[in-house]
Structure 1
């Protein structure tokens, strides 16, 4: 039963690695959106948990500047006077005429994030296969790096599970995650792509954890994964991310 013991030294290293992976995985996912948006000619901005994109010259447009100025010291559109509401509506219509939305571009940009995440996971798997690590008991740094890259796809599992929990506990039926939006664009049930990517993620993660990670580290690795990912998520989205961005 030696493999059931927790290796304290590796536990702390794994926690740190999962902590870093949570942050890196989040940012690289958003960079996937950004790469696609910039390839389509949009201006982009990276945030700690999201990205935004607009047409070139959007931020410098006089109507956009005027529209944003209206909202500077107001929390809600409902707080406007009727005159201000009319002014905001007119400006918004002018902005829409100048910069019409493009559903096809929106789809490709939405697709960019999940594609980046999945390709990163496949890249990690490729390294593991190339190094033939399933026959190794003593991993090198490159092997561990490949393991963590391959587990980036756990994002797909996490997002779908969280959405499912929200549906069961709160009865929510609208979800704005990338995979849900992709399903909607393709005319599918909104759960189709999230469930497919979650299943793919679960298969890859199970293979890596139970077939690749050496047995003597496995329990330590799994426990550290829960701790490091949760701590990383909370610290990044609640503290570090807002502070840095």
Structure 2
């Protein structure tokens, strides 16, 4: 049950919290990708709404040796190179390709790095739920700052709901397909229909958010929280991706 009683001071706090945590949630989501990429040995770059990764093997000893061996013959047709040189290069190139794969191993890395973002988002959400569970006797008596923090953390799962709604809109009204959102890419990497994983994460996001909002948040705050959080979240997204993120990244 939601009581339609608006609390102005509480609304102001929740409004700005959702703006802030929309930005934090976006960046930590990308850090989830980066953590996996770093673990797998890639060079990474963080942007305000995305990340990129690549392999920098220019300083690799075998790569440098390939360059040194090849340099004297750079202007000579490869077929005319000495056989011992070609054999040496082929052996070194095989070593380099095994060390920096661009085959099935690389495809697996792409999948794991893509999974890193949603996993980080949902992990944050589950940590928030864990805090609420451990403090259930205390917040049932009185909600503290730590409980509100745990609520906001648990609602990071709303990202999965937002992504599904946003992509559904593009699919219905712009007839787009082959979406680039993480969940859709994960489905394709795994050989599923691209809507399978997004639907699963949507359901997880809905279950967590509905439970937190309608079962945990005290009823006197509920209406104000929903309204202020919705407006703050949308505004935070619009501000960050509209201009603020790019401005801060380029400082």
User: Which interval holds the TM-score relative to the shorter structure?
Assistant: 0.7 to 0.9
Give unmatched runs, 5+ long, in structure 1.
Answer: 62-96
Q: Whole-Å Cα distance in 1 between the matches of residues 136 and 57 of structure 2?
A: 50
Q: Whole-Å Cα distance in 2 between the matches of residues 170 and 133 of structure 1?
A: 49
Residue pair 1:134, 1:212 contacting (<8 A) in 2 also:
no
Query: Which of 220, 223, 240 is matched with 2:224 structurally?
Result: 220
* CA offsets 1:53-85 (integer angstroms, 9 cap, x no match): 0002469x9xxxxxxxxxxxxxxxxxxxxxxxx
Q: Say which SS state the counterpart of residue 187 (structure 1) adopts.
A: coil
Q: Runs ≥4 in structure 1, deviation > 4 angstroms?
A: none
Please state how far the C-alpha of 1:244 moved relative to its aligned partner: 1.1
Aligned to 2:110: 106
Number of residue-to-residue matches in the alignment: 211
Aligned to 2:12: 12
Return the TM-score normalized by structure 2: 0.79
* CA offsets 1:148-171 (integer angstroms, 9 cap, x no match): 000001000100111111111111
Change (3 A) 1:113 1:236: same
Give unmatched runs, 5+ long, in structure 2.
Answer: 64-96
CA RMSD of aligned residues (A): 2.3
Structure with bigger gyration radius: 2
Change (3 A) 1:134 1:195: farther
* 1:115-130 correspondence to structure 2 within 5 Å: 115-130=119-134
Please state how far the C-alpha of 1:138 moved relative to its aligned partner: 3.0
* CA offsets 1:94-140 (integer angstroms, 9 cap, x no match): xxx88736111000000100110111100000000000068625311
Q: Whole-Å Cα distance in 1 between the matches of residues 123 and 189 of structure 2?
A: 22
Aligned to 1:81: none
